[in-house]
Chains A and B, each alone.
Chain A
């Protein structure tokens, strides 16, 4: 039916990969290129009492030293609340405070050592369950709790009537699940080479997953019109969502503007692990009502997302998580209450599956608990509660092209499981009242 679609065409740039000819940002070299290193806050939270970069500026081989005062607009990110260089109060360990461009790595590190800075260490809050409490140390002036729609501590989903659903249940099952901090850990660390070109435009070789996204964000930081700012990239040594956040482009760009020379800012593996955005922790509590026949009659979910110190993509992850947390099951009576709290750690970036896979871990483990409780197989509970084409999901999304049942049938066959006849006969076609479980 198709000519090109469906073909096993080898990778377009595969020859470059296997011959080592593919050029990544970290391979870009320019004549006279300077090296950037940054001064990072050693505390989870601190007040910068004073900072003096004058000696660093005169250090041998140094071309520029910048602090927050040198940033035209010191806020960036998808939700632009992240500081390019720290303001008076730092919010997480490793936050960038000052940046140096120098002729060599050693000269840059020497200059960092010559920055005179006086900190007052402040009490941080790391645990999200502590951070939501009244009187917890404040991560940001607006408070630790994100207010959804400007006024609500929780982001809600309401469907049906959970009290009725629980009354209808034969069993009530509760679970608490947590997921940890994860790092994207692409083999190529974050890297930027920035320079000013002949017509005076700022050009940035970037690892960004969204070149235009980064361009729009940083045009604001640099206060440049879009036609004075060019992003080059599009082939990167791994992203996994991490390169939806800006880690080096902003600072390298500022230093290129400050020096008029090419500047390279590459994170070491250690910096990337310790200080870049991460998949931040989540805590889920799920309370389910289930009938003896395996039908889930009610579900209550409470979610706490530890967003870290700045919003970055955390809010987006909460939205996506809430929409999908009830899983690929038709649940008629549902309450979801999600909260997002700020803590003194690296901000929540996006990471493959973000918001969704953490919730699906909790939901799918809980589902097996339900199966064990009523004494049916994990396979059966998934058949019984599966969505069908035409069903509305938990946010009222009418589902087209549904195939939970088909994937279950196939994966059972692949793994050598024999399904009961009735499940083999089921399909995801729209339910009529007489088919399947008749739920």
Chain B
């Protein structure tokens, strides 16, 4: 018989390396035609790093993201990145981008002041233009600045970095420290159907609400959450490399047939995502980390929903049909 159940989970997740102290650098170089080359060596692995980094640099410079390209391709030309991990890239590269943009603007203004023969303090930068505050028509565009500086033998490159302040050393007795100043939050509700004759669990509905601060790119953030839902279902229901562990490791998955990751057929029949648009006081434009937290709520929510459906508590992941069925049998026997 198919039994329905509902479960939920609530989590929070730190942004960046545990304890801080993980810097990134960004450079923004103006080219002859006024377009901008951004560099930072974070890795694009599908999370949307390149898109999001460009959007934050574009915002900081007040220009269209189409004017910016990013080079993250190698350790010769791309500015230093500590790692792409710990839900850190949006946050730390974002703050480094803002710092690099400020530096670039400062240098552009100084250069324009020389060209225009005025004091830099008389100039304003806004949306890709430098102009005398008293005379907005006096503007120099980025294209003019790119050409005039390059052909004038002046290298204009904005550089910046960000270091999340290292937390105090962990107190060995109490564990007191500061893992991260910025925390993301989230809750998930899932509805499952449990077949109490086969132990098969299906995720029917999945509702996610996450606070990742300002969402820099909703398309990429939704992708992260969709992926989190899928990987969460995998962790909750399927994934186990060595099902006989700890007795032995001899039965061990070595391919996608034995190691079951979710397919199109395993995604929730219905899922919804909402973001609470809070503003993190430390993050770039109020953003927090997103990547990892959004894969955390699903396994416990699913296990809680199984309990709601059939009254058994799966205390070891994953909730395979065999495990669920054994628990149901046990429950029947003990009444």
Contacts and interface: CB of A to CB of B under 8 A. Distances in A.
Contacts of B13: 324, 353, 356
B184 to A, nearest CB: 9
Contact of A410 (B9, B80, B209): B209
B218 A353 contact: no
Contacts of A186: 45
A156 interface: yes
Contacts of B240: 180-182
Interface string B66-87: 0000101111101011111100
A104 to B, nearest CB: 24
A384 B206 CA distance: 23
Interface stretch (A56-64, A123-131, A258-266): A123-131
B307 A178 contact: no
B158 interface: no
B198 interface: no
Contacts of B7: 368, 378
Nearest to A363: B300
Secondary structure at the B interface, as helix, strand, loop or mixed, is: loop
Interface in B153-209: 170, 172-183, 185-189, 191, 205, 207-209
A411 interface: yes
A369 B313 contact: yes
A156 B173 contact: yes
Contact of A357 (B59, B76, B299): B299
Contact of B219 (A8, A156, A356): A8
A114 interface: no
Nearest to B216: A5
Nearest to A409: B209
Interface string A350-364: 101110110011111
Given A4-B55, A401-B278, A210 B182 contact: no
B235 A182 contact: yes
Interface in B70-108: 70, 72-76, 78, 80-85
Contacts of B12: 324, 327-328, 387, 404
A150 B32 CA distance: 56
Interface residues of B, number: 121
A404 B10 contact: yes
Secondary structure at the A interface, as helix, strand, loop or mixed, is: mixed
B85 A244 contact: yes
Interface in A71-114: 93
Interface stretch (A248-256, A288-296, A392-400): A392-400
A6 B316 contact: no
Given A239-B45, A357-B296, A177 B74 contact: no
Contact of A232 (B8, B45, B74, B300): B74
Interface stretch (B114-122, B136-144, B284-292): B284-292
Contact of B246 (A149, A185, A281): A281
Contact of A209 (B43, B62, B172, B213): B43
Given A156-B175, A353-B296, A360 B9 contact: yes
B75 to A, nearest CB: 5
A136 B46 CA distance: 43
Contacts of A234: 41-44, 72-74, 78
B8 A378 contact: yes
B14 A412 contact: no
A126 B82 contact: no
B334 to A, nearest CB: 17
Interface string B209-235: 111011111111000000000010001
A434 interface: no
Contact of A414 (B186, B274, B293, B316): B274
A156 B175 CA distance: 6
A323 B300 CA distance: 19
B183 A401 contact: yes
Given A157-B174, A395-B175, A4 B241 contact: no
Contacts of B62: 3
Interface in A324-349: 324, 327-328, 336, 345
A8 B220 CA distance: 8
Contact of B276 (A3, A155, A365, A403): A403
A-B pairs, 7 with minimum CB distance = A364-B300, A210-B83, A157-B175, A127-B246, A239-B45, A234-B72, A181-B241
29 contacts: A4-B54, A4-B64, A5-B216, A127-B246, A179-B317, A180-B242, A209-B43, A210-B82, A212-B75, A233-B73, A233-B74, A234-B44, A270-B254, A270-B255, A278-B241, A319-B18, A323-B14, A352-B231, A365-B315, A378-B304, A393-B183, A395-B170, A397-B178, A400-B280, A400-B282, A403-B211, A404-B185, A407-B276, A410-B276
Interface of B: 6-14, 18-19, 41-46, 48, 50-51, 54-56, 58-59, 62, 64-65, 70, 72-76, 78, 80-85, 170, 172-183, 185-189, 191, 205, 207-211, 213-220, 231, 235, 239-243, 245-249, 252-256, 259, 261, 272, 274, 276, 278-282, 285, 288, 291-293, 295-297, 299-301, 303-304, 307, 313-318
